[in-house]
Chains A and B, each alone.
Chain A
Amino acid sequence: DAGVTQSPTHLIKTRGQHVTLRCSPISGHKSVSWYQQVLGQGPQFIFQYYEKEERGRGNFPDRFSARQFPNYSSELNVNALLLGDSALYLCASSLGDRGLADTQYFGPGTRLTVL
């Protein structure tokens, strides 16, 4: 089975622009989460979606938004890009209904560079 896929692999934007990142979960998984990983640090939680509803949000500004589609794929949108938004953006999928035993599986990430 295919794992979590993300597109694009790399992206270069300038300050003030908008970006959309895409994620396709593992088949059968209904939950998608987004994380931001700045170089040299651990990933930071941005959002989780389950069955197309937002189920959790991390401490990120309103410039960050996301949605989940009926096929469980997801988009992360970031408006008014700042230099500090440069990071690896990771998508993770899970079954979503296993409570604390739910395990998240990560995609390869999208490397965003803001100039």
Chain B
Amino acid sequence: GDSVTQMEGPVTLSEEAFLTINCTYTATGYPSLFWYVQYPGEGLQLLLKATKADDKGSNKGFEATYRKETTSFHLEKGSVQVSDSAVYFCALTLSNTGKLIFGQGTTLQVKP
């Protein structure tokens, strides 16, 4: 079935380090892809999205490119801040039902 796999966490980085969180997907069609972020005690916030192959989504210094050939949507940021500490979820949607399929989440901890 359709699914999303994220790299295991937690990921611990020092401030200003480069971030990569891997995300790969399995889908029967051509999904739209999303990254959501969840700060402690809060709901999910949309971080970025891409709706077709080779699209690059970007927001707040984060970016991810929709790679159909590798079925991947890796999240990157050039220089992380302590305030980026959160849980990051990769997700896909395939249908008009709006059903989002999420990965298990990756916890990012940034230390000063």
Q: Mark B83-111, 1 if CB is under 8 A from A, else 0.
A: 00000010101111111111111000000
Asked whether A109 and B96 contact (CB < 8 A) given A42-B103, A42-B104, A101-B51, the answer is no
Q: Mark A89-105, 1 if CB is under 8 A from B, else 0.
A: 01010101001111111
Contact present for A94 and B43 (CB under 8 Å): no
Q: How far is the CA of A92 from the CA of B43 in the complex (A)?
A: 10
Contact present for A107 and B98 (CB under 8 Å): no
Looking at the assembled complex, report how far the CB atom of B81 sits from the nearest CB atom of chain A, in whole angstroms: 23
B69 at the binding interface (Cβ < 8 Å): no
Q: Which residues of B contact A102 (CB under 8 A)?
A: 93, 96, 98
Looking at the assembled complex, report how far the CB atom of A96 sits from the nearest CB atom of chain B, in whole angstroms: 7
- A48's contact among B98, B102, B105, by CB below 8 Å, is which? B98
Q: How far is the CA of A31 from the CA of B93 in the complex (A)?
A: 15
Interface bin, chain B: 20 to 34
- A45's contact among B42, B96, B100, B105, by CB below 8 Å, is which? B100
Contact present for B97 and A55 (CB under 8 Å): yes
Q: Which residues of A contact B43 (CB under 8 A)?
A: 4, 90, 106-109
Contact present for B99 and A56 (CB under 8 Å): yes
A16 at the binding interface (Cβ < 8 Å): no
- B94's contact among A31, A92, A100, A107, by CB below 8 Å, is which? A100
Q: How far is the CA of A102 from the CA of B49 in the complex (A)?
A: 10
Asked whether A100 and B93 contact (CB < 8 A) given A42-B105, A106-B45, A109-B43, the answer is yes
User: Known contacts A42-B91, A50-B98, A100-B30; can you find 19 more A-B pairs with CB under 8 A?
Assistant: A31-B98, A35-B100, A45-B100, A48-B99, A55-B96, A55-B98, A56-B98, A56-B99, A92-B44, A96-B98, A101-B32, A101-B51, A102-B98, A104-B46, A106-B43, A106-B44, A106-B46, A107-B43, A109-B42
Closest 7 A/B residue pairs (Cβ) = A56-B97, A42-B102, A106-B44, A108-B43, A106-B43, A100-B32, A45-B99
